[in-house]
Amino acid sequence: MTPVRIEATNGVAVLVIDNPPVNALSAAVRGAIADAIAAVAADPAIQAIALAAAGKVFVAGADISEFGKPPLPPALPEVVAAIEDSAKPVVAAINGMALGGGLELALACHARVVAPSAKLGLPEIKLGLIPGAGGTQRLPRLIGAAPAFALMLSGDPVPAQKALALGLADAIADGDLIVGAADHARALAAAGSWTKARERADKLTTEDRAAFEAVAAEALKRSARIPNVPALVDAVRGVFDKPFAEALAAERAHFKALVADPSSKALRHVFFAEREAARIPGMGKEVKARPITKAAVIGAGTMGGGIAMCFAQAGIPVTLIEVKAEALDAGMARIRGNYETSVKRGSLSQAAMDARMAHITAAVGLEAAADADIVVEAAFEDMGVKAEIFGTLDKVTRPGAILATNTSYLDVDAIAATTSRPQDVVGLHFFSPANVMRLLEVVRGAKTAPDVLVTSLDLGRKLGKLPVAVGVCYGFVGNRMLAKRTQAAERLLLAGALPHEVDAAVTDFGFRMGPFAMADLAGIDIGWRARKAAGDKAVKAPVADALAELGRFGQKTGRGFYLYPEGARAGVRDPETEALIVALSEKAGIARRSFTREEIEARLFYPMVNEGAKILEEGIAARASDIDIIWVNGYNWPAFTGGPMHWAEGVGLAKIVAGLEEMAAETGDVSLEPAALLKRLAGNAGSFAALEAA
Ligand code: 3H9
């Protein structure tokens, strides 16, 4: 079966790309498009061509899974050139998403007719790449270099109306798309003339160049890390400075170099990892999700309110429940306030706000959860409190309702045991702010029913989240590894580093914030109280504890690890904190020394990788790539390094094992001794990726 079929209608050949699920341009598809173009060129009965696609997506772009493998002919630029050079006019019929190489195919067509719901974009930047099949040259010629650059820099697709306004689409079909595109193609053939994008220069004015250079300069300032932004600037500038063929060759050279760059490999790893996370090993397709038409959230604090907003946003009616009317009123006011801010900012319309508020009902008392299909408990983080809530929910909710807890640390199995239906209990660990953060750890208890897990993952996606299944342990995946970093950061302070040095190493690595600036923002008292409550399970954080004892809670008190004069958001070094750290080192009998950036990175991140390996050994995460996306989406680990486990492979697992052995010997902390899995993989040159494939 060829992935491109030819359907002839009244002098027009309709080429239908049919390569489910998203019509990616694999070698077979590229070859079939080239063959089809050649076949219809030779057919005297055909005057014009429409390029269409089957399914919901037009073409999602190059087949990303082919990147990094030996190239297979024909290359996409050759196919694109064959379309542009066709002696019969070609019109693209864009039914859905036209992305990356998919849009580049369409740009080489002589016109583009789009469905009203179509979206067009060049998202290569998000994969650490730039368009590599003429997009950087043809798009500026069609719509101007400045708007084209902005579109490629954001990577976000534009809807049909915007594409029409930009001049990217020639028409929006008001009836049948294929008929519209075929008519357009027939009309071009009848007129006997059509334009090729590469021959256009009317949009490339002096003003356009000035506008492009201004946005490009801004973009370069903001992007020191991934080489694709400078490459994009250089490629687009070629539209003004180089003949078309030369500029195209420069684009191709950039593209090839970027495909081989570790940052693009890492971003592609994240792309596939996010999709892989949806698959639960051993879970068959016969396990169906339970219907969720009505939800309840227990606790109207910041977390509960945020979770209720997620349901409202997804159009699922939700009852927000509190024990006392005052707390409920405050929670509802907070939600309203959040929405009002979005309306003021222009990111939400008043009508959308009203619709969301209408989806949230406030109620006092757990009985209000009686008819919910799912109840998410977001009450105080205390086992006694949770046990009481779940005991009552067990009595008042209907059979088959899912009872979820948003606990960050508590034992989901112990919570499930307080009910008569542990099979219906699951953890839904949202991250704060819950209505914004994409990560959702779905905690599968020992007795959680398969369909409850499937429903939770399905619901997570409906709420716009990235749900990742994890098992029960203290802190689950994300916080369990975070504890290792917190511990390591504190150790670094006692060993000789200062907060600003540790934070700088972390932001240089690509995080938006270092651990100490983060602690000041979140409030040092929160961790301090949590450590007291957790007792032996808590990490040792003597510096943070000492600061908290002094009432230095961070930004909210104007002083923490740093000083915040006059309500400043960014802290400055504080001699008092630094003296306190030195005193604590002395008290512990540690001779302080300085650390390089690389040493700080190793001391912070190797213990996390080690914990990740233990998490895999214990089966708490199904695969290393799940751990990676948890850290990328929940803890701001820089995506261009692929997440902690992918990064570790780049560093070399043997190097990490050796580093951990040294750290364990120096600190006497046995938990830093390399995990058996890590040692095994390091010993036989294995990798986490290979582990998953096996
Ligand atoms: C490019 O085009 C370079 C060119 O400039 C130059 C070349 C020379 N390739 O996301 P979904 C798979 S770079 C291979 O769950 P949705 C995906 O892994 C490319 N596979 O569906 C999944 O597989 P599975 C620029 C791909 O409906 C399945 O399809 N393009 C590709 O939520 C369904 O995907 C992009 O960056 C691909 N290109 O969203 C667009 N795309 O079922 C990337 C998807 O086995 N794609 N798959 O897990 C997307 O953004 C979304 O997939 C899309 C559909 C919005 C299209």
Is the peptide bond preceding residue 262 cis, with omega within 30 degrees of 0?
A: no
Q: Give me the half-sphere count of Cα atoms (radius 13 Å) on the Cβ side of residue 628.
A: 29
DSSP-derived secondary structure letter, 59: B
Nearest residue CA, atom 21 of ligand 1?
22
Asked if 439 contacts 466 with a C-beta cutoff of 8 angstroms, the reply is: yes
Nearest residue CA, atom 10 of ligand 1?
275
Residue 448's contacts (CB-CB under 8 Å, 6 or more residues apart) are 416, 422, 423, 425, 426
Three-class HEC string of 569-622? CCCECCHHHHHHHHHHHHHCCCCCCCCCHHHHHHHHHHHHHHHHHHHHHCCCEC
Residue 412's contacts (CB-CB under 8 Å, 6 or more residues apart) are 405, 425, 426, 427, 443, 445, 472
Residue 348's contacts (CB-CB under 8 Å, 6 or more residues apart) are 339, 342
pLDDT at 567: 67
In the structure encoding, which two tokens stand for residue 484, read together?
Answer: 């290792």
Among 405, 396, 374, smallest CA distance to 294 is for 374
Atom of ligand 1 nearest to the CA of 60: 56
Residue 109 burial (CB count, 10 A): 27
Atom of ligand 1 nearest to the CA of 101: 2
Among 104, 106, 26, smallest CA distance to 62 is for 26
- CA–CA separation, 540 and 563 (whole Å): 23
Q: Give me the half-sphere count of Cα atoms (radius 13 Å) on the Cβ side of residue 508.
A: 11
- Looking at residue 162, its amino acid is K
- CA–CA separation, 447 and 682 (whole Å): 35
Asked if 190 contacts 131 with a C-beta cutoff of 8 angstroms, the reply is: no
Q: Name all residues whose Cβ lies below 6 A of ligand 1.
A: 21-22, 24, 57, 60-65, 76, 97, 99-101, 104, 123-124, 127, 129, 131-133, 135, 272, 275
First to last CA, the chain: 30
Measured in angstroms, how far is the CA atom of residue 539 from the centroid of ligand 1? 41
* Residue from 19, 22, 30, 107 to probe ligand 1 pocket by mutation (most atoms less than 8 Å from CB): 22
Measured in angstroms, how far is the CA atom of residue 24 from the centroid of ligand 1? 7
Strand arrangement of the beta sheet that strand 158-159 belongs to:
97-99, 119-121, 158-159
Measured in angstroms, how far is the CA atom of residue 65 from the centroid of ligand 1? 9
Atom of ligand 1 nearest to the CA of 276: 48
Atom of ligand 1 nearest to the CA of 279: 48
* Residue from 17, 25, 33, 64 to probe ligand 1 pocket by mutation (most atoms less than 8 Å from CB): 64
Among 615, 661, 640, smallest CA distance to 127 is for 640
pLDDT at 693: 64
- Looking at residue 157, its amino acid is P
Nearest residue CA, atom 6 of ligand 1?
132
Is domain 479-693 given the CATH code 1.10.1040.50 in the classification? yes
Nearest residue CA, atom 15 of ligand 1?
275
Is the peptide bond preceding residue 575 cis, with omega within 30 degrees of 0?
A: no
Measured in angstroms, how far is the CA atom of residue 158 from the centroid of ligand 1? 17
Fold of 295-472: Rossmann fold (3.40.50)
Asked if 620 contacts 470 with a C-beta cutoff of 8 angstroms, the reply is: yes
- What is the CATH architecture of 4-260? Alpha-Beta Complex (3.90)
Residue 77 burial (CB count, 10 A): 19
pLDDT at 694: 62
Mean pLDDT by 10 residues, the chain (694 residues): 91 97 98 97 96 98 96 97 97 98 98 98 98 98 98 98 98 96 97 95 97 96 86 98 97 97 97 96 94 98 97 98 96 97 96 97 97 96 94 97 95 97 98 95 98 98 98 95 96 98 97 96 89 82 96 94 86 96 96 96 98 97 97 97 97 97 95 96 86 69
Measured in angstroms, how far is the CA atom of residue 598 from the centroid of ligand 1? 35
Nearest residue CA, atom 48 of ligand 1?
275
What DSSP letter does each residue of 525-574 carry, written as one string?
HHHHHHHHHHGGGSPP-HHHHHHHHTT--BGGGTBSSSB-GGG-SS-B--
- CA–CA separation, 295 and 317 (whole Å): 6
Among 49, 39, 53, smallest CA distance to 114 is for 53
Atom of ligand 1 nearest to the CA of 64: 9
Burial environment of residue 36 by CB neighbours within 10 A (0 to 12, 13 to 18, 19 or more): buried
Burial environment of residue 188 by CB neighbours within 10 A (0 to 12, 13 to 18, 19 or more): buried
Measured in angstroms, how far is the CA atom of residue 252 from the centroid of ligand 1? 21
What DSSP letter does each residue of 407-460 carry, written as one string?
-SSS-HHHHHTTSS-GGGEEEEEE-SSTTT--EEEEEE-TT--HHHHHHHHHHH
Measured in angstroms, how far is the CA atom of residue 512 from the centroid of ligand 1? 27
Domain ranges of the chain: 4-260, 295-472, 479-693
3-state secondary structure of 362: strand
Nearest residue CA, atom 50 of ligand 1?
60
Among 170, 195, 188, 181, smallest CA distance to 47 is for 188
- CA–CA separation, 49 and 51 (whole Å): 6
Asked if 404 contacts 456 with a C-beta cutoff of 8 angstroms, the reply is: yes
Nearest residue CA, atom 9 of ligand 1?
63
Atom of ligand 1 nearest to the CA of 272: 18
Asked if 361 contacts 355 with a C-beta cutoff of 8 angstroms, the reply is: no
Question: For residue 470, which phi and psi values (nearest 5 degrees)?
Answer: -135, 165
pLDDT at 533: 82
- CA–CA separation, 447 and 421 (whole Å): 9
- CA–CA separation, 554 and 42 (whole Å): 74
Torsion sign over Cα 391, 396, 399, 404: negative
Asked if 434 contacts 309 with a C-beta cutoff of 8 angstroms, the reply is: yes
DSSP-derived secondary structure letter, 373: S
Residues with active-site annotation: 104, 124
Asked if 507 contacts 540 with a C-beta cutoff of 8 angstroms, the reply is: no
The CA-based angle 633-634-640, given to 5 degrees, is 40
Alpha helices in 112-205 (DSSP H): 135-143, 145-154, 160-166, 177-191
The pTM for the full model equals 0.95
Q: Which helix (H) or strand (E) holds 364?
A: strand 360-364
